[in-house]
A and B are shown apart, each in its own frame.
Chain A
Amino acid sequence: MDIKKTPKKLNVKEKYRLMTRDLAWEPSYRDEKEIYPYVDYEGIKVHDWSKWEDPFRLTMDAYWKYQAEKERKYYAIIDAHAQNNGHLNVTDARYLTAIKLFLQGISPGEYSAHRGFARVGREFAGVGPQVACQMQSIDEIRHAQTQVHAMSNYNKFYNGFKDFATQRDRIWYTSVPRSFFDDAMSAGPFEFLIAIGFSFEYVLTNLLFVPFMSGAAYNGDMATCTFGFSAQSDEARHMTLGLECIKFMLEQDPDNIPIVQKWIDKWFWRGCRLLTLVAAMMDYMLPKRVMSWREAWNIYGVENGNALFRDLARYGIRPPMHWDDVEKSIDHTSHQIMLGLYQWKFGTAFHSWTPTDSDIEWLKEKYPTTFEKYYLPRWEYAIAQKEAGGEYNNFGLPKLCQTCQLPCLFTEPDDPTQLAHRETEYEGEKYHFCSDGCQHVFEQEPEKYIQAWLPMPALMQAPLKGDLAAWMEWVSLEPTAAGEYANSEDKANFEKWRKQVSTD
């Protein structure tokens, strides 16, 4: 008698081969160059696209299955959050500033990444990266959507959320992340992958998501914590793609090494400048803190970054240029950024505040060599103004960096008492930078950065011509969304509603 054998399930490697590489074909009536016109011009040489393999060996069928599961988990929590006044469970309404900044600055970046990966997935000539980029593109739009959706619950109750899309395009501080993604999206496909896939996802994304989302949980914000971890579960795959893509480029041809190194230098620096906003979020905007920016940098920047670059040394890749300047800045940047945001708070779609006594104690403990000496006197000045019934504001428009677009508020790497001033001339016009790193990036591609839309100089051009009231309207900034937290509607409402809930 014949024994019926159940057909053996395909193993993961076979399945990956069948459902990824075997979906490709050799073009017969069109030239490869016509189909993939943008794959050569950056100078990256690829001899064998089939050497690209996703280490997770994820195929589209499994992808949909697991993404659907993530969405189910996510929406269960979002529904519970909306049904149970979840917005009143956060530590206090100061916390909302962190997620407003996230919504205005980061979520649109997810959408840009979605568009970018859709494009490069089309432009690469190998099916392995095509499939991986397709998955990442779908992930990124999921992130943008789930983030907007999660935060829409807060928009029902608080100011500063409702017009994040306009503000993404127009308000001043959002031009920092926007220009970062625009820079990547206007680069070639390989540079895009090094910019977003490797430098941002692999080297820096942990610094953004892991402590921040853990912080959201710690501050009672289950909605943010959930979209954060749900998105981050995709990031592990993105990081792996980022690392694979760099190894692939380096293994394909030795001529690729200097090109890749140049991109690592550029995008590491640009990413670190972008993350100074996250540093301020972590050290100042979470009422209950999980770890300081310095601690997060030590774990996810230094320890993890060193491990990565020791691993890549075998290809002849060295750690990013200007790494030492970043290291020197870590104990300073969050204070410098937050003092800036505080003094320009009349022009931000989120609130800021002076640190409380317990905040000050925490900052002293976490930054023993810098906070008390260099930054506390300025905070004490602002606190004294408040106690005297006034408010410290700086109505001066700041000089912006031509590359990172942040105000030039960073100090010399070795002198925290002196702003760093860098300038250069290109075709008879002067350009200013916040640092050597940003000047270096500019000088590699001046033709690109001279086109930068810098919000402060733009304000003086037509049609606004320096009219601040017209600017407020143009950036969709209502006075209730801006200014000192202590006087805000958000604070008053949160406290009133919380009292109602707790006395019912």
Chain B
Amino acid sequence: MSKVFIILQANEETRSIVDAIEQDNPDAEVVHEPAMVKVQAEGHLVVRRETIEEEIGREFDMQELNINLITLSGNVDEDEDALTLTWNS
């Protein structure tokens, strides 16, 4: 199995987003590095809008992720409710 990951800038907004990702992916590992935070998991990771909205306390558009995104790994699929990352192997 291969690891997928998403790396976000470390800031106030992404604190809530990372909390939300952790809730939705109990097996994910969170790694803090200078100015950035990496969330990785085996094979599959999902980022859900509803969980983020719950954490951040306002409406959230999945495409807002663009602003704080540093990089990611895996095949991407995004719609208005979720962003998923997967490797097919």
Contact between chain A and chain B defined by CB under 8 Å: yes
Binding site for B on A (CB under 8 A): 11-13, 55-58, 62, 66, 69-70, 73, 205-206, 209-210, 213-215, 217-218, 225, 229, 232-233, 235-237, 239-240, 243, 290, 303-304, 306-308, 310-311, 313-314
Query: Which 9 pairs between the two chains have the least Cβ-Cβ distance?
Result: A307-B2, A217-B35, A310-B89, A55-B76, A218-B34, A217-B34, A214-B34, A66-B66, A236-B69
Q: Which residues of A sit under 8 angstroms from B63, Cβ to Cβ?
A: 12, 56, 58, 62, 66
Q: Does B79 lie within 8 Å of A235, measured CB to CB?
A: no
Tell me the complex Cα distance, A314–B34, Å. Answer: 37
Closest residue of chain B to A11 (Cβ to Cβ) is B80
Tell me the complex Cα distance, A229–B10, Å. Answer: 11
Q: Does A310 lie within 8 Å of B2, measured CB to CB?
A: yes
Q: Which residues of A sit under 8 angstroms from B33, Cβ to Cβ?
A: 214, 290
Q: Which residues of A sit under 8 angstroms from B72, Cβ to Cβ?
A: 236, 239-240
8 A–B pairs (Cβ distance < 8 Å), ordered by A: A55-B77, A209-B70, A209-B71, A229-B70, A307-B73, A307-B87, A311-B75, A311-B89
Q: Is B9 an interface residue (CB 8 A)?
A: yes
Q: Is B56 an interface residue (CB 8 A)?
A: no
Kindly provide the distance from the CB of A239 to the nearest chain B CB, expressed in whole angstroms: 7
Given contacts A213-B35, A307-B4, 7 further A-B pairs with CB under 8 A are A12-B63, A58-B63, A205-B71, A214-B36, A239-B72, A307-B89, A311-B87
Tell me the complex Cα distance, A290–B71, Å. Answer: 17
Q: Which residues of A sit under 8 angstroms from B2, Cβ to Cβ?
A: 303, 306-307, 310-311
Q: Which residues of B sit under 8 angstroms from A290, Cβ to Cβ?
A: 33-34
- Given A233-B66, A313-B89: A13 touches B35 (CB 8 Å cut-off): no
Q: Does A206 lie within 8 Å of B34, measured CB to CB?
A: no
Q: Does A311 lie within 8 Å of B88, measured CB to CB?
A: yes
Tell me the complex Cα distance, A12–B75, Å. Answer: 18
Q: Does A233 lie within 8 Å of B35, measured CB to CB?
A: no
8 Å CB contact of A13 from B34, B67, B79: B79
Kindly provide the distance from the CB of B50 to the nearest chain A CB, expressed in whole angstroms: 15
Q: Which of A11, A13, A56, A215 has the most CB of B within 10 A?
A: A56
- Given A210-B70, A235-B71, A307-B89: A12 touches B36 (CB 8 Å cut-off): no
Q: Does B36 lie within 8 Å of A210, measured CB to CB?
A: yes
Q: Which residues of B sit under 8 angstroms from A12, Cβ to Cβ?
A: 62-63, 78-80
Closest residue of chain A to B35 (Cβ to Cβ) is A217
- Given A214-B34, A214-B35: A240 touches B67 (CB 8 Å cut-off): no
Tell me the complex Cα distance, A473–B77, Å. Answer: 53
Q: Does A206 lie within 8 Å of B77, measured CB to CB?
A: no
Tell me the complex Cα distance, A314–B78, Å. Answer: 23
Q: Is B68 an interface residue (CB 8 A)?
A: yes
Q: Which residues of A sit under 8 angstroms from B75, Cβ to Cβ?
A: 55, 243, 311
8 Å CB contact of B36 from A69, A229, A303: A229
Q: Which residues of A sit under 8 angstroms from B77, Cβ to Cβ?
A: 55
Tell me the complex Cα distance, A314–B75, Å. Answer: 14
Q: Does B76 lie within 8 Å of A240, measured CB to CB?
A: yes
Kindly provide the distance from the CB of B12 to the nearest chain A CB, expressed in whole angstroms: 12
Q: Which residues of B sit under 8 angstroms from A303, Cβ to Cβ?
A: 2-3
Tell me the complex Cα distance, A314–B88, Å. Answer: 9
Closest residue of chain B to A211 (Cβ to Cβ) is B33
Q: Does B87 lie within 8 Å of A210, measured CB to CB?
A: no
Tell me the complex Cα distance, A58–B35, Å. Answer: 26
- Given A215-B34, A311-B89: A66 touches B67 (CB 8 Å cut-off): yes
Tell me the complex Cα distance, A89–B81, Å. Answer: 42
- Given A56-B63, A210-B36: A233 touches B3 (CB 8 Å cut-off): no
Q: Does A232 lie within 8 Å of B71, measured CB to CB?
A: yes
Kindly provide the distance from the CB of A206 to the nearest chain B CB, expressed in whole angstroms: 5
8 Å CB contact of A56 from B4, B9, B74, B76: B76
Tell me the complex Cα distance, A225–B4, Å. Answer: 24
8 Å CB contact of A236 from B4, B71, B80: B71
Closest residue of chain B to A303 (Cβ to Cβ) is B3
